[in-house]
Amino acid sequence: MIKLCTETFNQKNPSSIDTYLKLGGYSAWKNIISNKTSKSEIINLIKESGLKGKGGAGFLTGLKWSFINSNQDQKYLVCNSDESEPGTCKDRDILRFNPHSIIEGMLIACYAIGASVGYNYLRGEFIGDQWLVINKAIKEAYSNNLAGQSILNSDISIDIIPLIGAGAYIVGEETAMLESIEGKRGMPRIKPPFPAVQGLYGKPTIINNTETLATVPYILKNGAEWYKSLGENESDGVKMFCMSGHLNKPKVIEAPLGIVFSKLLEECNGVLDGNKLKAVIPGGSSVPVVKAESIIDTPMDYESLMKIGTMLGSGGIIVMDETTCMVSVLERISRFYYAESCGQCTPCREGTGWLYKTLVKIRSGNGTQSDLDLLNRVANQIEGHCICALGDAAAMPVKSFLKNFWNEFEYYVSKKQSMII
């Protein structure tokens, strides 16, 4: 498989600056400074590469950078390392094993958008290895005059500042993260204004995912066409896929964007114990579930997955075999979003509770046919009616589980038990 963000993973001291430099690390950043590369040239290169945000939305990175309000003197970059989506475990590995790719990507992005400060916001649960490693790596970058004041004796000064959250899923939403950085309760803002116009401390701000920024140095080193050529089935570039669930060898795989799902399954030595594949959630727990037959030969890219009624999301692939009770899985997913709702929007605050409590009722053997109809009605009342996407994240799994596995839910309410023995 391809190695960009995972380039250092198998090295003896993967997180050290010496390892990164030995593999050509910081060469893109050094070239920008020595050649005095223009900001527009960098943004255009990222646009041409087709690099899309790898945190879930899939928005074109170069286009996002070009939205920055250039009329303001103070601008900010925020690296979103608040990786909290169930089923997603890629950013934590980059933070542990290739932290300098993130730092170099942040420095390049700061330079391109004219920001003098870049914040890397880590989820609260990363207080262990990830927090310690990224702090050490930032100190190494400063010691080598690659970050800080008068970088490499130039007139460029950029500070990289690590921050850590308190364990709230909602802070992964970009504007809630800005609120948290400002010392407020992490709750999403109403948009517009968008962060690129009015973000952190009221100043223009770009927020990018960890994997996205870690990919940037490799594009600067090798070119836009090179990056585009790495994809398969008419897709551009690469993606890290987090393979979890009923697999013989769960792992994080960096692979061409557009790789067929069956190839990823083969990389994990197939479904656990030779069982039959039943269902897959391809982009973290918030995206719609699909049946095995729908996804097995599908290219893993944004457009192809949309065609089968789901999304690539964060690339957190959750594999379920024939022993899985779909009612039980949905109850567990709904509990998560009920617990993580910030409570700002009534449809989400009240609706997630109704979804979870109704599923608990069904699972306890007290459900009725009308409860299935209630689940669909509540999900429809939540979806599209909230400030941020958490409401949608709670509603989409409910609607897709009911649509694709209606027979299991009907069986549960009629027989008062799971059809999976």
What per-residue confidence (pLDDT) applies to 356? Answer: 98
Helix%, strand%, coil% for the chain, nearest 5:
50, 15, 40
**CA distances, 306 to each of 302, 315, 326, 409 (Å):** 6, 14, 22, 25
Nearest to 121 by CA among 208, 184, 185: 208
**H/E element, 353:** helix 346-363
For 199-254, the DSSP string reads -GGGS-EEEEEHHHHHHHHHHHHH-HHHHHHT-STT--SEEEEEEEESBSS-EEEE
Q: Give pLDDT tens digits for 283-305.
A: 999 999 999 999 999 999 999 99
Q: How many residues does the chain have?
A: 421
Backbone angles phi, psi at 409, to 5 degrees: -70, -40
What per-residue confidence (pLDDT) applies to 69? Answer: 82
Backbone dihedral region of 66: left (phi > 0), alpha (psi from -120 to 50 degrees) or beta? alpha
The structure tokens 């960890």 sit at 210
SS3 (DSSP) at 274: helix
On the question of a cis peptide bond just before residue 192, with omega within 30 degrees of 0, the verdict is: yes
What per-residue confidence (pLDDT) applies to 399? Answer: 98
Nearest-angstrom CA–CA distance, 169 and 186: 9
In the chain the domains, ranked by start, together with CATH numbers, are: 17-229 (3.40.50.11540), 238-321 (3.10.20.600), 326-415 (1.20.1440.230)
The whole-model pTM stands at 0.95
Residue type, 130: Q
What per-residue confidence (pLDDT) applies to 280? Answer: 98
Nearest-angstrom CA–CA distance, 90 and 125: 14
The structure tokens 């050529």 sit at 229
The residue ranges of the chain whose pLDDT is under 70 are: none
* 10 C-beta neighbours (distance < 10 Å), count: 9
